[in-house]
Structure formats: C-alpha cells, structure tokens
Structure 1
Amino acid sequence: MILHDYQYDAKYTKSIAYFSMEFAIHQGLKIYSGGLGFLSGSHMRSAYDLRQNVVGVGILWSFGYYDQTRSPDRSLKAEFIRKHYYFLKDLGIQAKVIIHSQEVHIKAYYLSPDIFSSAPLILLSTDIPENDFLARTITHKLYDANEETRISQEIVLGIGGVKVLEALKQKIDIYHMNEGHALPLVFELYAKYRDMDEVRKRVVFTTHTPEDAGNEQHNIDLLHKFGFFNGLDMETVRSIMMMENENNFNLTVGALRASKITNGVSKFHGEVANRMWKDCEGKSEIIHVTNAQNRRFWTDKELLAALDDHEDYQIISRKKHLKRGLFAIVADQTGKMFNPDILTIVWARRFAEYKRPGLIKHDFARFKKLLQRTDKPVQIIWAGKPYPFDTNAINVFNELIHISHDYPNMAVLVGYELDLSRMLKKGSDIWLNTPRVSREASGTSGMTASMNGSIHFSTDDGWHPEFAKHTINCFTIPPIDHDQPVELQDAEDNKNMMDMLENEIIPMYYDKPDHWVQMMKSAMSDVIPAFDSGRMAHEYYVKMYEH
C-alpha cells in the first residue's frame, strides 16, 4: 500500500518508521498527554513539509489520556470519555501478537497526510470484537496505571507495529524509537535476522528524560511471561541484552544496547545522558539532536507578518488582540476579567514535581504582594495536566485553584491540550519555566512561546542555554549550587526569580516598552529557524538515519 501522497525529496528517500506512544497532531485527535506527543506531532508535520519518507506508528487510544474538567468545588476532575474518529481509515488488515500466552488481534487505522498536513500515521487498536474484554482494554488509556497493561501496550506498539508494517508490505530501512516504549520491536526484528548487529543497523533511539519515571523498568521475568521478548528464551534475552544477572530490566538500557545510535534532546541533555549512562556496557554512542517545534502549526501568522514588516505598532496591537483571545477563555472558565495592558505571566506544561509549578509562591508573603500590586500589576495563569493518578501533582494543581479564589488576577485553567496551549503561548507576555537544572531534558513549550513573542523566563536547563541571550531574547534565572538540598535550591531559585521579576522584568515591561518589543522581536527571530522542527527532522536524517 502507498501511504504517502507526496513525492519524496531526494535527500530523504530512506524509509523511516517512527514509533511513539503519543502523537499530538491535532486538537481533534486526542492520543497524546504532553511534551512527548507535542514533539512527535511537530516531527510528523515537518516530515510532511520536507517531503520525507517517514511514517509514524502509534496507538489509537479509545479514551485518550483523559479529559481534564472540574468537580463541583472547581478542583480537577479526570474523566475518561470514549472517542470516535471518522477521519481515520480502517486499513483492512490485522496482525496478531502473543500477550501472556494469549493471541491478541491488532487492527490498524490510517491517518492520511492530507487530513492534518502530516506524515502518514498508522494507529493500532486492540479494542475490537475479535478480542476478549481484557485484551480490548490494552489500548483504552494512554499510560495506563496498571503495570501489566503498560507492558501489554508496549508489546502492541513494538511487535504489533512491525507486523502491521510488514502486512502493509512496507520496506522499512530504519526503526526510530521515540522513547523506550517501543523496545519490543527489537525482539521482533531479532526473530527475523537472528543477529543483533543486523538489528542495530536498523534501529535508532531517542531518550527524552533523566527522570526515573521516564526510564521505565520492570521485572525481567514478568516481561518474559507477558511476551515482551517475543517468545525468546530467557538465556537468549540475557545474552543479547547483556543482562546476565540483573532481574530489573530497564527499557532505556535495553534501547541503548539495541540501537546503532542514540540521541538526547538538547545539547545539555546529551551531556547529562552521557553522564547517566557512562557505565552502561555495550551502549550506542549518545549524541544530541535538540528538540524543536513546527513553526507552521504553532505561530501566529499575523504576528510573524508584523515582524517581517518591521512594524512595531503592529506587533503591539496584534499581541493585545491575542491576549484578548486568551482572556476570553479565562473569563469563560473562571469569571475573571483580565486586562490586555497588564503584564501576563503563564506557567503551562505537564504538572510534574521537578518542573516546580508552584515555585513562584514558595515565599508566599512575597507572592501575595506580587498579586496585590496596584502600581505595575501582573496577571498569572497556570495550566497543565497532572498524571491522573499522581496524587501529589493533583494536590499542587488543586492548591493553586484554591489560592486563585482570593485573587482576581490569578487563574488556573483546565483542558490543557493543543488548542489551549497555542492560545496560552500567543496570549502570554512571559513564559515561566522553572525546572530543577539538569532534570528537564529539553522543555519545548518555551520554543513555541518565543515563536509568538512571549519572553522565556527560565532556569538555565534543557534547550534554553542554546537560545538564551539574557535581556535580549529571554530572561535567565541565575545559576545556583545544585549539590545543596532541594529545599535550599527552591528557596534560592525563588528569591532570584522574584528579584528579577520585581527589579528587571516588571519595570522593563511598563517603563521601557520599546526595549520590550525589541525583546519580543529578538525572541521570534532567534527561535526560528534554529528551533523549528524542520531543522530537527533534517538533522535526524543526517546524524541518525544515514549514520
């Protein structure tokens, strides 16, 4: 079957299958949770823009990640609502995988390039009548909380994905694992080649996080029992994975050993990943390909046109218009009327502990003073999806909602998906990014904010050091000693951030509007094309696929 409806550019004819648990292609296709999906969605859009021979392989999640709504007391509510997609095509083929000694049927759906201007996607589902109820639930929820379901999802993605591509008669040169979830594909390829050197020639791996939760591990016997290793005997698995005596199988370690080359997702993350895995015997070389986002999808065209025309007054008026659009959502959700003339700070991304969503309120008395300013006031918005079963993250989210009830200029929004994310980036003045340094691999939300003239205000982590020119295109929170206890780090980062906000950022916004507009223009100019995913998609071919 021909999956692409475009002629390949001669530079990109090698055929690539890009495996990812999530793809954020469009608001109407809810098969993503956050940054990993935003990244893979942008990759697919740029593969289309560049006419690359790339096909995405993912899972059609029947209930998506979750729908983020509110309980009667306005706290977060996670709802699971079945989704239907009438724009996907049933490919009419099925593959079978063995999970826990049972045969599981996989159906394949096709997202053609013309629907959302992306590389073609093949989406796998077990939620079909041929399967029993338990097998059907495998592809119900992205990142299911049940360990056995998670393992089953990875078998469907990895082994099922390869089998579906074969059933569609696709000749694939390179299998790209976007994170370790698709690792079972390695064992399906091993069944074909019976030689790990032959397998490695065809596999590349992108590692996305230094966090333990992102470097998934399971008991090796449990994985074997579920069929993760595609029916290989344990002796062979231990031999080809160089895990003679270990009982915990780390998916990242397995992927490092099964790939011809690995990349971290920023220059800094490449260094961190090399430090993290320096003792991993048999690992592939770890380079970096810095993450990026698709300009075509994320940027406000009129704001870019004003930049190109060198018309500052147009930039200012367009930004105010975009702020009004965002503030209509704030009013709709919270009953609060925000003012487009007031400096607006946004913190919006996945709610995870190391990203420190509540850092700005660490010194609560100072935070209250900030919100109560009448001279040069501020407005602050939070949004983002905590993992629906992460009680601590949900508590932080709900605490912010509770605090916001006392302040007309503080809002916490629900429904953080692609469309709201775009509105927040277009309608903010400051994009606040507060991860503990070295813990954020890339953090691409700031890229799309900068594309829309929102100034990145960040600790010096992830992609930020490759972009940052303090007070020219961004604001950088000063470095601190990261060997001290996290409580002291939080206190020091908070003090430095508030000092900069009160003494530099707020005065500049209100007293030096010309300088502010110049920063907006520098941010937009500097982020494109260096952090447009066209650069990234090209680099993958040059540095990884042709390697």
Structure 2
Amino acid sequence: MNFRNFQVPYPVDDRYSKKVAYFSMEFAVHQPLKIYSGGLGFLSGSHMRSGYELRQNIIGIGILWKYGYYDQARNQDQTLQVTWMEKYYSFLEDTGIKFQILIHDHPVWVKAYYLNPETFKSAPMFLLSTDLPENDYVSQTITHRLYDANVATKVAQFILLGVGGAKLVDELNFNPDLYHLNEAHGISAAFYLLNKFKSVDTLRKHLVFTTHTPEEAGNEKHDIYLCHKMSYFCGMSVDEVRKLTGIYDDQFNHSLVALRFAKLANGVSQLHGRVSREMWGKYDGICPIIAITNAQNWNYWADKQLYRAMEEANDWAFDDRKKYLKKRAFEIVADQTGKLFNPNVLTIVWARRFAGYKRADFLTQTLERFNKLTSNEKYPIQFIWAGKPYPVDYPAISQFNNLVHISKNYKNVAVLIGYELGLSKRLKQASDIWLNNPRVPREASGTSGMTAAMNGSVNFSTDDGWIPEFINNGHNGFVVPQADYANMTVQEQDDYDLNKLYEILEQQILPLYYDNYDTWRQVVKNGMRDVRFQFDSNRMAHEYYELLYI
C-alpha cells in the first residue's frame, strides 16, 4: 500500500466527507493494543470504532508506546506492583515513512506504523515511534512509557504527538480540513502549522479542540523556557510565543493556548461544558466552548444476547444470560483472589482509574458501616474493586493497597489487577451495580457507567459528568441528590455523599433486588434501553461532524 497519498481505504459517507486528523495521546481500540491508560483512551478508541462504522473521513494519530502504560502485577503480599513489559504488535504495518523532528535542538528520527481499519474495525490509525536504532538512547525512550513521570520526557512526548503528528500528516499528503486535538497534549502541532499557514487566522480555521479536564489545576502546564529549550515552539522565540499566545507568566498552559488557537472547542458532557465556560471565561481570546457528551461504542461493548432477550421480552433468557455473565467473570475473581463469588448475590463493582477525587475506597471510610453491610445475611452483597493508579501517584497506590488489605478480611470483597479493556468488559458483565462516587463537579464525563449499562448493570452514582443527562432516579439507575456543594467544605461534601450512598444502598437498592426482582429487572432494562442510542459513540462521532467540524 502506498502511504504517500493517503486516503481512507473505504467509501466515505457524504455527510462525513470533511477530512479530519484526530490527535490523541492514547487510544483504547482493543485489548491487544495496549497504548492507553484510562477514560481518555476508552473514549478515543470508541470514537475510532464509530468513525469506521459511519464511514467517516477521519484518521487517528497517536503514539506506539513500547511498554504501554504499565502492567499491573502484585507484590508477595498482594499489593500493587508496577511492571514494564515490552510489547510486540505483528498486526501493525510498517508504513515505510521515516522523518526527523527537532527535540532539544537535536534531530530525532520518527517512524510511523499503520493500524488497518479491518484489523479491529476502527478508522485508519497511524502510531509514531522513536524507538529506532538511528536514535540515541534518550531519544528512543520518548515512546517507551505513556505519560512518563520525567517532565522533560513528557514535554518531548507532547512535541512528538503534536509536531511529529502534524508532520506525518504532511508526509501522508492527507491534507486534512481540520486538525482535532483530543486534549491539549498535541498543541505543539499549532506551532508547526503556523510555519505552514503563516497566520494565526488561517491556523484557527483548521484547528478544533476537546477539553476533558474540569479543573484548572488538572490542565498541563510546563515552564515556558523548558518548552523553548526543547524546541516545542518550532523555532519561535519566547517573546514571539508570548505575543501569539497571550501567555505572560512563565507557565505555558497547554489547554489555554489550545483554546486561544482553536476556532471551536467542546467539553465532554453538558455539565462539563458549563463548568468549562465558567472556568475559562475569565481569560480573553478563547474560542467558544460547546458540549458534546462522551459516549462508548455499543457494537464493541454491549452484550448482544442480553439485548436480544430484552427485545424478545424473554425474562427467563434475560436472567439466565446475566447469571452466566456473572459466573464467567467470577472465575477471574476466583483465579486472582481465591474467593468464590455467588451469581445469585447482588454484586457491586467499582472499577476505573484510581485518582483521589474518584474516592475509590469511599464506602470503606466507616468500617463499622461497611462491616454491617457486608455481613447482612438477609441482603447479602459482594464487592469488586479494580483499576490502575498512575504509576507514581503514591496516594492513589496506597488507596489501592489499603483496599487490598481490607479485602483480606472478607470472603465477599475482592480487589483485582489488570484493569484493561478485557477485564473492564468482564467486570461490567459481573456487576449488578456499577458504583461511581466522584466528588462533584470534578468528573468531566466518566464513561465507564455507559458500558456497564450496556451489559445489564445499574448505575449508582453521585450526580456528576454524564450522569445528569442519563439517570432518572429509581427508573434506570440511582443517583445521590446534589447538595449545595459550592458552600460546603470537602469534608462536609464527603460526609453528605457517604451518608446518602449508604442510605440509598440499604433502603432502596438491596430491598429492591431481593424483594422485588421483577421491578429490579425493569430498572436494568430501562438503563440498557436509555444508554443504547443516546450514549452510543455513533451519536457522538456524528455530533462531532455536525457541531464541531462545521
């Protein structure tokens, strides 16, 4: 295949004829391709799958991480061990494209690999690597670890995605109408494109931006002089950069610059769109921020047999299938922890990236109440936790380890490792309740509950991210009613949420599951129906063309 005049290798639907190059630091397309860490990757992976299903004129630009994010293993006492294993991908094609970019005033060779759309049913994707014999060792390590903890390496990764990605698009002769940055990691592309387009106004016509971070502190900032020293600005002086970006302190704020260079940006839920407009509204020169709610690919995630039984109104088949899915997933629990879980028992799963605001161990904060809950013989319960903390986020790692130690005291509490696409799907099938309790309003979207609903699990959540658009309390899920969080201390907010979670669990969810299963089944089905179209990524990928790429 000739990659020098690249066109998407399928007939394009006329509605989606505009050419788009979509830049993302991570893509979770399928379990064998381990180049993702969490939600951002799950989202971009589903986007690529929908791009394929809808026949969109879009290509994905990412990075081929030699060691992935990391592999989750266990120490001798079952606590978390971070391990790094080399990955090999025989299904990627060598494009034969090799070129140089400048990093730290030093030429670095970049090679491009291709993921054919037919391999995993995704839009065509190109993945960049610097792990080449032509490069010195330090340059090779740029593409070793996703979100490397070393600041200089991380800035180099951002240059590779942005400048390297934009240069690759030129090497392909793809000539996109739009460059879409999924998060601001690739904003260095703007400086490469300024050299090409010669004006900010022309650049703006070609750049759109998706922001995922609902708080300013979470947006990447780096020392402007470090960025300059590392050739981030493609030959521009710091003074020129300041003039163009309006940044006059020493912190180069990637998201702020993206908002000033893009013609249009979007938040990833209606609530997040509002939060983003308020958060960035105090800065001048930023583009309008709309909202396109995240979604997940139904074809990839949903259990089709469960949906078939629901559509045929065959409750026996529906219950039988859900029980089978639980039983199959519980084999993983038994294998990892030696605990035998019962498919007839209400199972609660908390599984996603471990981060402080997501409050993974929230229900265990009052062990007295947790003990009472887990030892209730009338309404038995099972808990599973899983998820990957960032490998140097020590508070999150100790939270994970604390849960491991707590779980040793219970037959019906398990903590699993290896939370990637494969395990994620199994845990969604294992769960009756998908527990989500972030501190409002810190979750931009939080899409894991969507794929849980697609596998017959009921969402139980604080009212954040996508949840206000989905949950009709008691009808298709359960939600903690919002309090006046803005006027509460963090401790007051935590106390309120924790009490409400226990209250709803003990007084509504458990009695419903055990005393009124027919109604419970209806709640499950309502969730499956409501998530089916509104939160399928085909809707989202269509909206990107309709609302962001216009």
1:53 corresponds to which letter in structure 2?
Answer: N
CA distance in 2, matches of 1:486, 1:323: 36
- Rounded to whole Å, the distance in 1 between the matches of 2:121 and 2:542 is 18
Shift of 1:311: 1.4
Distance 1:3 1:70, change over 3 A: farther
SS at match of 1:490: helix
1:116 to 102, 116, 120: 120
Q: How many angstroms apart in 2 are the aligned matches of 1:480 and 1:288?
A: 24
Q: Are 2:178 and 1:174 equivalent residues in the alignment?
A: yes
**2:100 aligned residue:** 96
* Structure 2: distance between partners of 1:6 and 1:306: 34
1:323 is matched with which residue? 326
Aligned pairs for 1:244-323 within 5 A: 245-323=248-326
* Ranges in structure 2 where 5+ consecutive residues have no aligned partner: none
Match of 1:224 in 2: 228
Judged with a 3 Å threshold, the aligned counterparts in structure 2 of structure 1 residues 289 and 462 are, in CA distance, closer, same or farther, namely: same
The match for 1:239 is 243
Structure 1 counterpart of 2:406, from 400, 403, 407: 403
Answering whether residue 466 of structure 2 is matched by residue 481 of structure 1, we say no
1:276-326 CA deviation, whole Å, 9 max, x = no partner? 101111000000000000000000110111111111221111100000011
Q: Does residue 443 of structure 2 align to residue 440 of structure 1?
A: yes
Alpha-carbon distance between aligned partners in 1 of 2:216 and 2:394, rounded to the nearest angstrom:
18
Tell me how far apart the structure 2 counterparts of residues 131 and 428 of structure 1 sit (CA, whole Å). 47
Using the TM superposition, give the Cα deviation of residue 6 of structure 1 relative to its aligned residue in structure 2, in angstroms. 1.0
Q: Distance in 2 between matches of 1:148 and 1:86?
A: 31
2:256 counterpart letter in structure 1? V
* Rounded Cα–Cα distance in structure 2 between residues aligned with 1:401 and 1:211: 30
1:192 aligns with 2:179: no
Structure 2 residue aligned with 1:80 = 84
Determine helix, strand or coil for the equivalent of 2:11: coil
Structure 1 counterpart SS, 2:534: coil
| Sequence identity percentage | 54
Aligned residue number for residue 132 of structure 2: 128
Mapped partners of 1:349, 1:363: distance in 2: 22
Which TM-score applies when normalising by structure 1? 0.99
Conservation of the 8 A alpha-carbon contact between 1:362 and 1:490: no
CA distance in 2, matches of 1:114, 1:376: 47
Are 1:512 and 2:516 matched, yes or no?
A: yes
Tell me by how many angstroms 1:490 deviates.
1.1
- 2:56 aligns with 52
Instruction: Identify unmatched segments of 5+ residues in structure 1.
Output: none
Q: Report the count of equivalent residues.
A: 545
Distance 1:212 1:270 in 2: 14
- Cα distance in 2 for partners of 1:533, 1:214 equals 25
2:301–2:451 CA contact under 8 A, matched in 1: yes
Structure 2 CA distance for aligned equivalents of residues 151 and 60 of structure 1: 16
Instruction: Give the counterpart of 2:548 among 536, 544, 547.
Output: 544
Q: CA deviation at 1:214?
A: 3.5
Q: Does 1:149 align with 2:153?
A: yes
Q: What secondary structure does 1:262 align onto?
A: strand
TM-score (norm 2): 0.98
Task: State the alpha-carbon separation in 2 of the partners of residues 197 and 254 from structure 1.
Answer: 14
Q: Which amino acid aligns with 1:413?
A: L
Q: Which residue of 1 aligns with 2:22?
A: 18
SS in 2 for 1:529: helix
Give distance in 2, aligned partners of 1:213 and 1:286. Answer: 19
Q: Is the 8 A contact 1:263 1:288 kept in 2?
A: yes
Per-residue CA distance 1:239-263 (angstroms, 9 max, x = gap):
11112x2111111101000100000
Q: Stretches of 4+ moved more than 3 A in 1?
A: 211-214
Q: Does 1:501 align with 2:505?
A: yes
Structure 2 equivalent of residue 393 of structure 1: 396
Alpha-carbon deviation of 1:212? 4.5
Q: Deviations over 1:353-399 (max 9, x none)?
A: 00000111122100111111111100000000000101100000000
1:107-140: CA deviation from partner (whole Å, max 9, x where unpaired): 0000000000000110000000110000000000
1:205 aligns with 2:195: no
Distance in 1 (CA, whole Å) between partners of 2:90 and 2:236 is 39
Tell me the distance in 1 between the aligned counterparts of 2:113 and 2:215: 32
Verify the 8 A CA contact 1:3 1:112 in the aligned structure 2.
no
Aligned amino acid, residue 25 of structure 2: M
SS of residue in 2 equivalent to 1:93: strand
1:213 offset after TM fit, Å? 5.4
CA offsets 1:494-518 (integer angstroms, 9 cap, x no match): 1110011001000000001010010
8 Å contact 2:215–2:279 — kept in the other structure? no
- After superposition, give the CA deviation of every residue in 1:408-463 in whole Å (9 maximum; x if it has no partner): 00000000000000001111000000001110000000001111110000001000
Partner of 1:373: 376
Residue 488 of structure 1 deviates from its aligned partner by 1.8
Partner of 1:417: 420
Shift of 1:523: 0.2
Task: Tell me the SS of whatever aligns to 1:411.
Answer: strand
